[in-house]
A and B are shown apart, each in its own frame.
Chain A
Amino acid sequence: AQSVAQPEDQVNVAEGNPLTVKCTYSVSGNPYLFWYVQYPNRGLQFLLKYITGDNLVKGSYGFEAEFNKSQTSFHLKKPSALVSDSALYFCAVRDDTGRRALTFGSGTRLQVQP
């Protein structure tokens, strides 16, 4: 069965500094990986995905993620954090069964300080 680990409950970063939110995964077969962001009392917003191709994936709002097959990681990054990036971030992997459902990590709260 597939799984996703987000080892940090919270990440604190100063505005203007680079940020990284970590994600590792386990799945049989080729991984389909996703990052979503959730603002308070809102739904999930899609940031980016890796299906195939370049290991560096660029997404919305200046975010990018690096797929590393040997380390089974898909870390989310941004070169310069904004206070408005403060939110809850979820990494997810599409499962390796016929249902094709997403399995989510537990989420990482990003706090960007002014």
Chain B
Amino acid sequence: NAGVTQTPKFQVLKTGQSMTLQCAQDMNHNSMYWYRQDPGMGLRLIYYSASEGTTDKGEVPNGYNVSRLNKREFSLRLESAAPSQTSVYFCATLSDRGRGYTFGSGTRLTVV
């Protein structure tokens, strides 16, 4: 009954370090999304996945990679973190009828 689970909730990285943000859903939805939230800019789409094994770029994909190895999980990877990637990251799913989104609680990432 968890919906969308994101881990970790908080992370501090040094410039140049790598890390993977995890997202898992238990709703059996095909569509999943990664957004970043920055002050005054709302949420912006980084990557999305229409189904297992498929991914595509959103508005702000530079510096990120994603992986959708199964229907349940959609991970976001920062290969070499930069201070500009300091943000709050949200994962979301879309119901298969396309009418309802479920968001995770977010990962607050700070790159120093």
Binding site for B on A (CB under 8 A): 4, 9, 32, 34, 36, 41-44, 46, 49, 51, 90, 92, 94, 98-107
Contact = CB atoms under 8 A, between A and B. Distances in A.
Given A43-B105, A104-B44, 18 more contacts: A32-B98, A43-B103, A43-B104, A44-B103, A46-B101, A49-B99, A94-B98, A99-B48, A99-B50, A99-B56, A100-B94, A100-B98, A101-B58, A103-B45, A104-B35, A104-B42, A104-B43, A106-B42
Contacts of B45: 101-103
Interface of B: 31, 33, 35, 40-45, 48, 50, 56, 58, 90, 92, 94, 98-101, 103-106, 108
A35 B41 CA distance: 16
Given A43-B90, A43-B105, A43-B106, A102 B43 contact: yes
Contacts of A105: 42
B90 A32 contact: no
19 contacts: A32-B98, A36-B103, A41-B108, A42-B106, A43-B106, A44-B90, A51-B99, A98-B50, A99-B50, A99-B56, A99-B58, A100-B98, A102-B33, A102-B45, A102-B101, A104-B43, A104-B44, A106-B40, A107-B42
